[in-house]
Amino acid sequence: MTKLFRRNKLVLSQLSVFFPAYNEEKNISATVLGALKILPQVADKFEILVINDGSTDTTAAVINQLGSTHPQVKLISHPGNLGYGAALKTGITSAKFSWICYTDSDGQFDFREIDKFIPSTQTADMIIGFRKNRTDNPIRRFLALMLRLWDTVLFGLNVKDVDCGFKLFKKQVINSIGPLVTSSAITETELLARTKRAGFTIVEVPVTHHARPEGIQTGAKLGVITKAFIESFKLFWYLK
């Protein structure tokens, strides 16, 4: 895969990668080290940002240790747990390079599969993954289906997997659409809806979904769902 990229020059000149993280002390080191192995083969210049969303474990300490031996790795911490959407916004605004990629810090996606994204950078402004073999429990799969229907009705956004945590896009997209206004599980919907409305090209690619190695997911908690529901109406009126 990596030799093919270099031979065909399918290499990004600059790439910012960020990982939203909340209490990921058991997963984040393997995730970041995995990305560090691949990034020199797919980008001439790169940085890795870990957005520590108010973790109460040793996530920050783990990243500081990695940063001491890998200068491309940088820690950005929230003062408290602000939520996934807020972590996305921090990562997007902090990224300095012309292409931005984010993926989950808990090992559910294999960063090596960025090889499926990079060929589309020749023609697309945003490349988004969709889970071809979603390993989530039935409740999370049901919520994902409801979100897809909700996004179609409210925003005319019909993509296979809007909340798949593996996306690659041009910084130019963010510069054009401006700051995101939501800070919840609906923030990925906002990013895609506003990108589409601005006339940018979006391409979907299949990615492998793995079970979370350690820890628990928080996306299906009632408070998270309620905030996203409320903010979806905020987004609807903003776009109107």
1 pLDDT more than 50: no
Give yes or no for a contact between 76 and 93, defined as CB atoms under 8 angstroms apart.
no
Residue of 225, 199, 222, 238 lying closest to 85 (CA atoms): 225
What is the longest distance spanned by two Cα atoms in the chain?
49
pLDDT tens column, 228-240: 778 888 888 888 7
What CATH number is attached to the domain comprising 61?
3.90.550.10
Give yes or no for a contact between 12 and 41, defined as CB atoms under 8 angstroms apart.
no
Owning domain of residue 76 = 2-239
Produce one character per residue of 141-173: b if its CB has 16 or more CB atoms within 10 Å, e if not: eebbeebbebbeebbebebebbbbbbbbbbbeb
- Place 60 in a pLDDT band, splitting at 50, 70 and 90: very high
Q: Which residues pair with 16 in a beta bridge?
A: 47, 100
pLDDT tens column, 97-150: 999 999 999 889 999 999 999 999 999 999 999 998 765 556 766 676 676 677
Q: Give 64: exposed, middle or buried? Use CB within 10 Å, 0-12, 13-18, 19+.
A: middle
Alpha helices by DSSP H, the chain: 2-8, 28-42, 59-69, 84-94, 138-155, 171-177, 187-197, 222-239
**Number of structural domains in the chain:** 1
User: Model's pTM, two decimal places?
Assistant: 0.87
pLDDT tens column, 174-204: 999 999 999 988 899 999 999 999 999 999 9
In this prediction, residue 146 carries a pLDDT of: 74
φ, ψ of residue 104 to 5 degrees: the values are: -70, 150
